[in-house]
């Protein structure tokens, strides 16, 4: 059960603001055709600089999601030079994606060599050691899907890395890294939590998007 | 050859067993006659096959186990032939043939065969089999790495080690070893990264610990059992007071009373009035005594006896106590409600006088680092000075009494003194926390144990109480028997590990109790006046000193000390009046 609408109905919301929110979401996620339709329907101004990069970003995201990390790295270097140099964590995550690919295709010797050349140099810094150990452990199992580290092979993990990469590219181009929509929902949740804690039973319940949509 | 033959009739086997009994027990006496023991053995139910034969008078030692651990001990000592001979003669092999094969395979590095043999040993616990296999394959892994066969090692890891399904965290570490030659996990010591495989005999030791003892007799088992017995004997020894005495296996260890000092070896007659206080230095090389005659004396302790080193004069009042510096190079003396003087031990010179105008000092003590001295004053406060006389701190209020001891704990944090007639104050000077020990009777004196954990308190009602002062003070023991009606009598800890309590008494005797049980062990006659104070030499558990109103100090030692004294005396007592 969400909060009673009568409490906030009277606040006016500008249509333009709503359009911007939607646009920021679409751009962030590279829905190029939808962006073009939306602009045509609403008569908004077209944000020129976004569109070219959007296509490239989309391709990079896709490659990362598939696990084709080397291609993703190549294209990222083209689009945003020095990004990976400055973002070692991300670089490591991408390289390890490639490593996981090799392990999954049972190419052990290649995986071992790749790890020795590209991944172990990161091990000099203490913060990478545990992550490195996690990945190396995959080598020990003939069926990595059944190992304790199986989550490193999952789609969720690749998605996670792909999103970090996406945000990094946006940041590199001085664009917002989070969509307005995300931020709004995050803020609402926190505000409601605070109110809830302060007023206990009397306060509004914690924010649930599901309830909100239903109400 | 003398071994037990299987086809001999049961009764004959009995007799042979008791014969073996005698041979095996190595000289320890069996009190029951032969017939009796056979009867005992007969009375015990015999298992039919592979008979559960026993040795020893209590019938709890299984013969097979006994022989096997002896054989193991023989091999450990290097007596290979004897060990083999024992196995043959007794018909009891140390290890089954399968186990022998297994051990050889391990030492020769036949890993795959050894894993197979492991299964043949017939272990019931699957986990043990897996853990042992893991250890063996891990060794194989590391030896391959050392030979730079990384892919082979990886293969072993993938196809043999990981599938065991044990010790995932170790598997993880092993993966990292393959990838990075200089890898050093946090748990492995850095020294080991150059040669990764440990020696095969170490592996065998690890396996021995893992496998049940019936399969592989643990290393050092016989030695462990013997040590256990010796330790138990030593702990049970009530009068245990000997440093040198080696425990022998030939007979049960028992210190007799003869390890407690009980004979007066020397009488020191240098004071001209009642001797009120005395204390050995921390290193036991000196003894300091103080007297109503307003002087203190430093005595030096030699192999042959105690002799006068310096007479310290200067005080204008009788001396109530002395205190040794932690390094024993200096001595503090306290005049009763007068001043405290600092003396250099080797020269006998007075280095400093500590006083406070208008007040008199009643006690003195040192900080454990020897940098500061403390003193109780007759306005009931306690003060702290640097050695050069600069006053650092003063705790005012009801901290001490006109007659009180003063002690500082070994960590330098607590100051202990009698603050009220029936209470002792434990003041933590850093945390500014006060704890109290409350008694029902008036407290006359106290002393602190060497480890600063216990306090021995003398009470007006002729009892001595032992308190544990860690955390909340707790009463631990009471000691009675000595006499005290009018004077301050002091007691002390002493002996090896401070296992004894000694005290003076108004009936001229020295009393000694066993600390743990509270039992009165000795009363030593000799003085002709009240014994005011006793001190036990911290470095020599066989030396005790007592100070008396009869103006003498007696040095007590062991009876029958012919080994320690060069000049035998007629009655064993040596008189010393300052000219030795």
Rounded to a whole number of angstroms, the distance from the CA of A110 to the nearest CA of chain B is 11
8 Å CB contact between B489 and B274: no
Same-domain status, B202 and B140: yes
A145 domain residue, yes or no:
yes
Q: Considering only CB atoms, which chain A residues are within 8 Å of B158?
A: 108, 139-142
User: pLDDT tens digit string along B342-399?
Assistant: 999 999 999 999 988 888 888 999 999 999 999 998 888 899 999 888 888 888 877 7
Nearest C-alpha neighbor of B287 from the set B315, B273, B272, B268 = B268
How many contacts (CB atoms, under 8 Å) link A and B? 56
Q: Which of B157, B162, B180 sits opposite A120 (nearest CB)?
A: B180
Could you tell me the pTM of the whole model? 0.54
Map residue B432 onto helix, strand or coil: coil
> What confidence score (pLDDT) does residue B199 get?
86
Q: Provide the terminal-to-terminal Cα distance of chain B, rounded to the nearest Å.
A: 70
In a domain, B275, yes or no: yes
Q: Which residues does chain B have within 8 Å of residue A138's beta carbon, measured at their own beta carbons?
A: 175
Do B326 and B451 lie in a common domain?
yes
How many folded domains does chain A comprise?
1
Interchain CB distance below 8 Å, B175 and A142: no
Q: Could you tell me if B520 lies within 8 Å of chain A, comparing CB atoms?
A: no
Any domain includes B382: yes
Among A109, A136, A142, the residue with its CB nearest the CB of B175 is A136
Coil, strand or helix at B491: strand
Residues in chain B with pLDDT values less than 70: 1-52, 181-196, 243-246, 560-580
For residues B303 and B437, state if they share a domain.
yes
Question: Which CATH number is B452's domain given?
Answer: 2.130.10.10
The structure tokens listed for B134 are 């893991």
Question: Scanning every residue of chain B, which has its alpha carbon at the shortest distance from the alpha carbon of A134?
Answer: B172
CA distance A142 to chain B (A): 6
DSSP-based three-state secondary structure for B478: strand
Shortest CB distance from A142 goes to which of B158, B175, B179?
A: B158
Interface test mutation site (partner A, options B141, B148, B172, max chain A beta carbons within 10 A): B172
Residue A49 parent element (H or E): helix A48-66
Structural domain includes residue B234: no
CB contact under 8 A, B174 and A115: no
Candidates B328, B337, B331, B330; CA nearest to B356 is B337
Strand order across the beta sheet in which B275-280 lies: B275-280, B286-291, B296-301, B306-312
Taking 50 as the pLDDT cut, the residues of chain A under it are none
Residues B346, B491 share a domain: yes
Q: DSSP E strands: which ranges in B286-339?
A: 286-291, 296-301, 306-312, 319-324, 330-335
Name the residue range of residue B149's domain: 95-180+197-221
Dihedral sign computed on CA atoms, order B2, B3, B9, B14: positive
B168 near A CB under 8 A: yes
How many domains does one find in chain B?
Answer: 2
Is residue B511 located within the same domain as residue B453?
A: yes
* Domain co-membership, B268 together with B127: no
H-run or E-run covering B433: strand B433-438
By C-alpha distance, the chain A residue nearest B155 is: A140
Are A139 and B178 within 8 A, CB to CB? yes
Strand order in the sheet with B474-480: B443-448, B454-459, B463-468, B474-480
Mark whether B147 and B277 lie in a shared domain.
no
Q: Name the strands in the sheet holding B531-536, side by side, starting at the edge strand that comes first in the sequence.
A: B531-536, B544-548, B553-557, B263-268, B574-576
* A164-197: pLDDT as tens digits: 999 998 888 888 888 888 999 999 889 888 888 8
A contacts of B174 (beta carbons < 8 Å): 140
Question: At A115, which CATH number?
Answer: 1.25.40
CB B249 within 8 A of CB B231: no
> Are B277 and B202 part of one and the same domain?
no
Biggest alpha carbon distance in chain A?
66
The reply to whether A140 falls in a domain is yes
Q: What is the DSSP string of A107-165?
A: -HHHHHHHIIIIIGGGGGSHHHHHHHHHHHHGGG-SSGGGSTTGGGGSHHHHHHHHHHH
Task: Print the domain residue range for A105.
Answer: 15-186
Residue B445's nearest CA partner among B406, B405, B479 is B405
CB contact under 8 A, A139 and B158: yes
Same domain, B215 and B289: no
Can you tell me the distance from the alpha carbon of A60 to that of A62, in angstroms, rounded to the nearest whole number?
5
Q: Report d(CA A65, CA B2) in Å as an integer.
A: 82
Are B323 and B340 within 8 A, CB to CB?
no
Same domain membership, residue B264 and residue B202: no
Inside any domain, residue B297: yes
3-state secondary structure of A48: helix
Q: Is B183 on the interface with A (CB under 8 A)?
A: yes
3-state secondary structure of A7: helix
Give the residue from chain B lying closest to A129, CA to CA. B185
The pairing of strands B391-395 and B406-408 is: unpaired
Q: Is residue A68 part of a domain?
A: yes
Using DSSP's 3-state secondary structure scheme, residue B386 falls into strand
Q: Give the per-residue pLDDT at B572.
A: 47
What is the DSSP code string of B208-237?
HHHS-TTTSPPTTHHHHHHHHHHHHHHHH-
Nearest to B159 among A133, A138, A142 (CB): A142
Please report whether residue A191 resides in a domain.
Answer: no
Nearest to A136 among B150, B151, B176 (CB): B176
Q: What is the DSSP letter of A105?
A: T
Using DSSP's 3-state secondary structure scheme, residue B98 falls into helix
Same domain, B209 and B275: no
Instruction: Judge whether B507 and B483 are in contact, CB under 8 Å.
Output: yes
Q: Is the Cβ–Cβ distance between B530 and B505 less than 8 Å?
A: yes
| Distance of alpha carbon B15 from alpha carbon B10, whole angstroms | 9
Say if A208 falls within a structural domain: no
With tokens 């070893």, the residue in question is: B177
Chosen for mutation from A136, A143, A147 (greatest number of chain B CBs closer than 10 Å) is A136
Same domain, B432 and B299: yes
- Cβ of residue B153 closer than 8 Å to a chain A Cβ: no
Q: How far B149 CA sits from the closest chain A CA (Å)?
A: 12
């Amino acid at each position: 059960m969400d909060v009673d609408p009568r409490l906030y109905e009277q606040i006016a919301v500008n249509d333009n603001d709503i359009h911007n929110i939607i646009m920021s979401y679409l751009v962030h996620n590279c829905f190029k055709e939808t962006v073009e339709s939306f602009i045509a329907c609403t008569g908004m101004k077209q944000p020129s600089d976004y569109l070219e990069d959007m296509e490239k970003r989309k391709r990079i995201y896709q490659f990362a999601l598939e696990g084709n990390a080397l291609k993703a790295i190549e294209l990222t270097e083209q689009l945003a030079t020095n990004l990976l140099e400055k973002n070692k964590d991300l670089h490591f995550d991408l390289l390890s994606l490639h490593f996981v690919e090799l392990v999954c295709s049972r190419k052990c010797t290649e995986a071992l060599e790749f790890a020795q050349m590209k991944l172990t140099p990161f091990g000099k810094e203490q913060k990478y050691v545990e992550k490195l150990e996690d990945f190396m452990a995959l080598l020990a199992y003939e069926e990595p899907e059944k190992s304790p580290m199986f989550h490193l092979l999952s789609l969720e993990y690749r998605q996670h890395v792909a999103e970090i990469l996406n945000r990094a590219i946006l940041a590199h181009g001085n664009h917002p890294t989070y969509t307005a929509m995300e931020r709004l929902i995050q803020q609402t949740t926190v505000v409601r939590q605070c109110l809830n804690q302060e007023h206990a039973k009397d306060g509004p319940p914690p924010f649930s998007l599901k309830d909100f949509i239903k109400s | 050859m003398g071994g037990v033959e299987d086809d001999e009739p049961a009764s004959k086997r009995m007799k042979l067993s008791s014969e073996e009994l005698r041979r095996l027990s190595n000289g320890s006496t069996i009190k029951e006659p032969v017939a009796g023991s056979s009867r005992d053995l007969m009375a015990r139910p015999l298992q039919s096959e592979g008979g559960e034969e026993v040795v020893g008078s209590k019938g709890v030692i299984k013969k097979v186990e006994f022989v096997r651990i002896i054989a193991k001990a023989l091999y450990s000592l290097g007596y290979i032939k004897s060990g083999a001979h024992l196995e043959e003669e007794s018909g009891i092999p140390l290890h089954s043939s399968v186990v022998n094969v297994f051990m050889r395979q391990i030492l020769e590095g036949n890993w795959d065969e050894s894993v197979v043999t492991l299964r043949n040993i017939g272990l019931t616990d699957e986990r043990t089999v897996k853990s042992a296999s893991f250890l063996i394959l891990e060794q194989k892994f590391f030896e391959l790495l050392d030979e730079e066969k990384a892919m082979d090692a990886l293969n072993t890891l993938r196809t043999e080690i990981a599938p065991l399904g044990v010790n995932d965290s170790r598997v993880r570490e092993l993966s990292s070893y393959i990838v990075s030659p200089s890898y050093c996990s946090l748990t492995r010591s850095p020294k080991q990264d150059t040669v990764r495989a440990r020696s095969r005999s170490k592996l065998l030791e690890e396996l021995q610990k893992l496998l049940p003892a019936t399969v592989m007799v643990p290393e050092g088992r016989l030695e462990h059992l013997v040590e256990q017995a010796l330790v138990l004997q030593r702990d049970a020894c009530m009068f245990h007071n000997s440093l040198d005495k080696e425990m022998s296996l030939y007979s049960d260890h028992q210190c007799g009373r003869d390890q407690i000092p009980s004979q007066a070896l020397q009488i020191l007659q240098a004071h001209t009035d009642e001797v009120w206080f005395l204390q050995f230095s921390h290193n036991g090389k000196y003894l300091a005594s103080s007297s109503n005659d307003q002087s203190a004396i430093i005595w030096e302790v030699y192999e042959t006896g105690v002799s006068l080193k310096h007479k310290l004069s200067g005080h204008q009042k009788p001396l109530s106590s002395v205190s040794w510096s932690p390094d024993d190079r200096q001595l503090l003396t306290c005049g009763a409600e007068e001043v405290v003087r600092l003396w250099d031990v080797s020269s006998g010179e007075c280095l400093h006088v500590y006083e406070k105008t208008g007040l008199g000092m009643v006690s003195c003590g040192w900080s454990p680092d020897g940098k500061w001295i403390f003193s109780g004053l007759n306005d009931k406060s306690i003060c702290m000075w640097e050695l050069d006389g600069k006053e650092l701190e003063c705790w005012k209020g009801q901290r001490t009494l006109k007659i009180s001891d003063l002690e500082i704990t070994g960590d330098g944090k607590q100051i202990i003194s009698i603050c009220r007639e029936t209470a002792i104050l434990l003041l933590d000077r850093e945390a500014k926390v006060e704890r109290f020990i409350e008694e029902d009777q008036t407290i006359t004196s106290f002393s602190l144990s060497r480890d600063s954990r216990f306090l021995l308190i003398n009470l007006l009602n002729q009892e001595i109480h032992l308190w544990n002062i860690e955390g909340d003070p707790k009463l631990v023991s009471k000691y009675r028997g000595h006499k005290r009606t009018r004077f301050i009598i002091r007691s002390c800890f002493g002996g090896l590990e401070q296992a004894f309590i000694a005290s003076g008494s108004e009936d001229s005797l020295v009393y000694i109790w066993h600390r743990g049980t509270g039992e009165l062990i000795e009363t030593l006659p000799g003085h002709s006046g009240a014994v005011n104070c006793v001190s036990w030499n911290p470095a020599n558990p066989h030396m005790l000193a007592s100070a008396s109103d009869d103006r003498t100090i007696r040095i007590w030692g062991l009876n029958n000390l012919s080994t320690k004294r060069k000049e035998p005396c007629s009655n064993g007592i040596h008189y010393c009046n300052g000219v030795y």
